[in-house]
Amino acid sequence: MRDSFGREITYLRLSVTELCDLRCRYCMPEEGVCKLRHEELLSEEEMLRAVRAAAALGITKVRITGGEPLTKPNILSICRGVAATPGIREVSLTTNGLRLPELAVRLREAGVRRVNISLDTLDPERYAYITRRGKLADALRGIEAALTAGFEQVKLNAVLIGGFNDGEIPALAELTRRWPVDVRFIELMPMPGETAFGPESYLPVSRVLEALPALRPEREDGVARLYRLPGGQGRVGLISPLSQHFCASCNRLRLTADGKLKPCLHSAEEIGIKGMSEDEMREAMAEAIRRKPRCHGELSAARRSQAARNMNQIGG
């Protein structure tokens, strides 16, 4: 289905949980989020109903996210159900990677074709700092498990943070030569509850080009501008929600774990679909697509997102 500005909406980001086993400083408060009551969350059956409704409107790609989707006890069954939905051609998943050693092969068998794994640093102390509790070695084991499980694509996502990991741009990009992975640098977004970083932390991803003059441009891929290092097996991607937003080509709709459709990541507008029939969900989704704004309001280090939630509650 096309929205009011002619954009074809083909992509659903489905958040299956708000909960997470990490507490990344740019994403979640240290104390975590107050656990929603069971009856406030979409059930697996409701999630799959929503995916069927989305497919009927022309959505072909679903990305499963959270919170940390691999903390969801029925994650394999959700992935299997989404992958088996007629009309859904691609299922991908975004994860911090910690639980991939035990789950990667089973996720692949469940129909997940691609995984994105978050990795902001290669320094164990910095990893423990930014995640407030994670171990770098566990994340690296997760990446290796993904690489051997046979996914069609593995991407690593690094949020670029001034004074934290900007000195690691070469080391992170170097991973594209070591492994067949894309490494994508993402500009830090000023989410409403996130206060760990001041304006000096917001760097444009053009810093990556300055740090790596050897990068050669390749084609664009959705939201990422792509480059390659000489000898790189994978590519280096730049994602710039602040310095060069990609609203004009936005093709996505988001569904939160508590059943709220979000026409735009950075707007407070939400449409609840919990408890609806498939027909009602389809109508609510069509309405959410019609209500997609042309663009979100200006977003900058000084101007925070209008979203009423943190990233873990939206599904980044």
Nearer to ligand SF4, 196 or 212 (CB): 196
The residue within the footprint of ligand SAM, chosen from 11, 41, 65, 203 (CB under 6 A), is 65
Q: Would you tell me how many other CB atoms lie within 10 Å of the CB of residue 82?
A: 28
User: Interface with ligand SAM includes 68 (CB under 6 A)?
Assistant: yes
User: Interface with ligand SAM includes 312 (CB under 6 A)?
Assistant: yes
Q: Residue 251 and residue 10: Cα distance in Å, rounded?
A: 6
User: Interface with ligand SAM includes 316 (CB under 6 A)?
Assistant: yes
User: Interface with ligand SAM includes 66 (CB under 6 A)?
Assistant: yes
Three-state DSSP class for residue 157 = strand
Tally the C-alpha atoms within 13 A of residue 193's C-alpha that lie toward its C-beta: 17
- Name which of residues 2 to 61 contact ligand SAM (CB under 6 A): 20, 26-27
Are 165 and 126 within 8 A, CB to CB? yes
User: Interface with ligand SAM includes 75 (CB under 6 A)?
Assistant: no
Binds 191: which of ligand SAM, ligand SF4, none (CB < 5-8 Å by kind): ligand SAM
User: Interface with ligand SF4 includes 67 (CB under 6 A)?
Assistant: yes
Q: Would you tell me how many other CB atoms lie within 10 Å of the CB of residue 255?
A: 28
Three-state DSSP class for residue 18 = coil
Q: Residue 85 and residue 60: Cα distance in Å, rounded?
A: 10
- Name which of residues 104 to 123 contact ligand SF4 (CB under 6 A): 118
Q: How far is CA 234 from the centre of its chain?
A: 19
Nearer to ligand SF4, 96 or 165 (CB): 96
User: Interface with ligand SF4 includes 96 (CB under 6 A)?
Assistant: yes
Are 243 and 300 within 8 A, CB to CB? no
Q: Residue 193 and residue 304: Cα distance in Å, rounded?
A: 9
User: Interface with ligand SF4 includes 194 (CB under 6 A)?
Assistant: no
Q: Which residues bind ligand SAM (CB under 6 A)?
A: 20, 26-27, 65-66, 68, 94-96, 118, 157, 159, 186, 188-189, 191, 194, 311-312, 316
